[in-house]
Every structure is written in structure tokens, then in C-alpha cells.
Structure 1
């Protein structure tokens, strides 16, 4: 399935490359490498997972099991228009997901 601006809300696994300081540099999505625009501020925040709805539990000592990490970045592939990707990393996950895409131009 391809996540497109016409259907912008779906969770699809993506690969994200980060700089040494933890800022996203590029996103691999839909067979393309989308470079993060270094001149545009990337938004970074955390939200709480509704753990009471998911009934997810973790072994003692695992750490943070409720914070969802988000990044909102502007990206461009070689021949594509500028877009905004919202990325999320769920608690206890190692795989980033593409939550939404919006066209900027």
C-alpha cells in the first residue's frame, strides 16, 4: 500500500536515518529516499500511549512503555514536490512508522 496525500493517515513502516545528534536526515518510503530539508526546523515531541486501552504490559525494568516519539519533517525526493512527513515510534518498538503526509507546494 502506498501512503499518498489523498489518503494521508495510515501507519506504514519506514526506515529513518538520523544524524549523530538524533535529528532525522532521510526517510526511506515507497521505494524512494526522501531527504529532510536541513533549512526547515523539524518538530519533535512526545505523546502518551493509551496503555489502558492496549492492555500492553512490559517486563519489570524495561523502561518507558508509554511515550510515543514523534517527528514532523519536511522532505523532498529527487523529482517530487516538497512534503511534510509525520513520523512516530511507538513504545517498545524499534520500527518507525509514517503516520501522515501532507503536500507543501
Structure 2
């Protein structure tokens, strides 16, 4: 039974590692999205940092990406930036790729 137990532990460890990596990619993506939106809103560097953190926190409101999209779209619209849902979702996809690249290939 030890071979089976070892194999089970290996699968559990891999699952935990995969979940941790996915969480880190999502958090990095949200930070990058916050920086992207802050640039569009012409925020100062200090405001950009605070806003990026707020976008990361917004992701904890509900499962999925809708809470982040809603926050970004609402904040950009309120700041007078001409952006639509499709542009925000496109940025979300682009920043996901960038976040994955940054975490897999650290600089």
C-alpha cells in the first residue's frame, strides 16, 4: 500500500502547487490590470500603487473575474475614460499572459 499512498500524496502535492501557482498568476494579473487602468486614468505613481492593490482586493468579492471587470469598468467610466467591456476583457486576457510569463520566467 505504500506505493499507492506515495502516489496519492504526490497527486495532492501537485494539486496544491497548481492551485498556488494559479492564485499567484491571478493576483499578479490583477495588479497589472490595476496599473493598466491607472495609466489610462492618469494617476500618480502613489495613486497607481494604491489602485493596483484595490484591484487585487476586488477579486476577493466573488468567484470568477466579473468583480474585477465590474470594478475596472466602473472606475474607468467614472474617470471619463472611453472604454467598453470588450476592451477591459481584452486587457484581462493580455495581462493574464503577461502575469504567467513573469511568474514562470522571473527576471
Greater C-alpha radius of gyration: 2
TM-score by length of 1: 0.25
- Higher share in helix: 2
